[in-house]
Amino acid sequence: MEAVVMAAAKTLPISSLKCGATKSATTASQKKTLSLSSCSVRQAPDFLRDLSVTVAGGRNVKSSRKLQVTAAVAEDRRIEQESMLSEKPATLLRDGQDAEDKNGLRARFEQMVFRIQNEVCAAVEAVDGGKFREDAWSRPGGGGGVSRVLQGGNVWEKAGVNVSVVYGSMPPEAYRAATGSATKKPGRIPFFASGVSSVMHPKNPFAPTLHFNYRYFETDAPEGVEGAPRAWWFGGGTDFTPSYLFEEDVKYFHQTQKNACDKYDPAFYPKFKKWCDDYFLIKHRGERRGLGGIFFDDLNDRDPNELLAFATECADSVIPGYIPIIEKRKDMPFTQEHKDWQQLRRGRYVEFNLVYDRGTTFGLQTGGRIESILMSLPLTARWEYDHQPEEGTEEWKLLDACRNPREWL
């Protein structure tokens, strides 16, 4: 029966953080300690940095018997209800060691994402003239988030920049004693995740949407198992989604991302550009949601300080990579037909985010803050039956580039 329930329950990935959601993770060295009866692997070669855990609340739960079985798992993994705060706290880290260790990676990463949030919001406000609304929340067990949303602006119809910090833990069922000689049942495996996540949808159909997300994960040793290994990794990316193809914009944007990558490794841009094209595929359409950028995950094969610097470099490339394009396109005249096409592409954005995006789907099922998770959806979207742009038109050119990713540089 267990196998049946396992297979029927949805499996969800945990390697990408959508702010407002939580994640579970396990360590690279716990390879032999995990019971696969309640875990599943998304990436075989490096699977312990990249593990999926079966989560209930999926689509297939129907019988009361299964509900009971899976509800227990869901209960185990559901994050605590957030409490709204009257103002943004200085840190979302837990009191004590995390908050006090100013030079620790957790603290330095959090300060970086807060700085990025401030700078991106300031840059957007400077162009738009509108102001971001801020919502901050915390959770009883530590962690929380700060969402900033600008809606109905002059340039952007909806722009959001979220920071969040999550303290979570894997259920003990996912874990077996580290060695055959272990006599004590291990406790849960605590993890830490922090990230910044942003989506910005402009009004003008010639101005592209931008998404970026940078995140840092750590797992502790399982409770009750002395000397067990820890793990950490970085992930993230920046990708952009125009409704119309201006080659100069695409080249400019990709060049800024390549420049950031090249400072650290000439192999990064080609690898992360392809990863981005692969990730943002709307499988049922056979097309990407946009024209890519960079995407990476599971980065932990260098000194963590170097990888923090790399993630910072990428995040710092958002403003110079995006704002100049917006400045160029935001006031271009357009017709209702242009607007309708933009709205159809926004529909594709919704399809990707609700059907495929791991952070979104995971967040929806684990009880993250819904409004922060779904902030990524556009203000408005459109679905026309069987819309097919005529070959050679500007709409077709964009679609062709979404279907057949190119090397832009």
- Chain residues in the site for a copy of itself (CB under 8 A): 3-4, 6-13, 36-37, 39-45, 47, 50, 52, 54, 57, 59-63, 65-66, 133, 135, 149, 151, 158, 160, 283-285, 343, 347, 350-351, 354-356, 358, 361, 364-365, 370-371, 374-375, 377-386
Q: How far is the CB of 165 from a copy of itself (least distance, A)?
A: 20
> Between the CA of residue 182 and those of 39, 187, 189, 226, what are the distances in Å?
21, 12, 16, 10
The angle, 0 to 180 degrees and rounded to 10, between the axes of the packed helices 247-262 and 268-279 is 130
Q: Closest Cα partner for 262 from 252, 249, 274, 272?
A: 272
Residues 6+ apart with CB under 8 A from 80: 139, 140, 141
Q: How far is the CB of 4 from a copy of itself (least distance, A)?
A: 5
The smaller minimum CB distance to a copy of itself, of residues 317 and 353, is found at: 353
Cα of first residue to Cα of last residue in the chain, in angstroms, is 53
Q: Closest Cα partner for 52 from 61, 42, 65?
A: 42
User: Could you tell me the two tokens for 357?
Assistant: 């995006």
Q: How far is the CB of 217 from a copy of itself (least distance, A)?
A: 16
The smaller minimum CB distance to a copy of itself, of residues 87 and 95, is found at: 87
The smaller minimum CB distance to a copy of itself, of residues 221 and 377, is found at: 377
Residues 6+ apart with CB under 8 A from 8: 60, 61, 66
Pairing relation of β-strands 231-241 and 209-219? antiparallel
Q: How far is the CB of 8 from a copy of itself (least distance, A)?
A: 4
> Between the CA of residue 184 and those of 34, 176, 177, 187, what are the distances in Å?
15, 10, 7, 9
Q: How far is the CB of 259 from a copy of itself (least distance, A)?
A: 27
Q: Which residues are catalytic?
A: 211
Q: How far is the CB of 357 from a copy of itself (least distance, A)?
A: 8
User: Could you tell me the two tokens for 403?
Assistant: 């279907």
**DSSP output for 255-310:** HHHHHHHHTT-TTHHHHHHHHHHHHTEETTTTEESS--EEEEEEE-SS-HHHHHHH
The smaller minimum CB distance to a copy of itself, of residues 106 and 348, is found at: 348
User: Could you tell me the two tokens for 149?
Assistant: 């949303």
Burial of 119 from C-beta contacts in 10 A (0-12 / 13-18 / 19+): middle
Distance CA 292, CA 159 (A): 19
The smaller minimum CB distance to a copy of itself, of residues 137 and 408, is found at: 137
Handedness of CA 27, 32, 33, 37 (dihedral sign): positive
The smaller minimum CB distance to a copy of itself, of residues 160 and 242, is found at: 160
Residues 6+ apart with CB under 8 A from 81: 139, 367
> CA torsion 108→110→116→117, rounded to 10°?
-160
Q: How far is the CB of 153 from a copy of itself (least distance, A)?
A: 12
The smaller minimum CB distance to a copy of itself, of residues 20 and 142, is found at: 20
The smaller minimum CB distance to a copy of itself, of residues 45 and 227, is found at: 45
Q: How far is the CB of 66 from a copy of itself (least distance, A)?
A: 6
Distance CA 298, CA 49 (A): 6
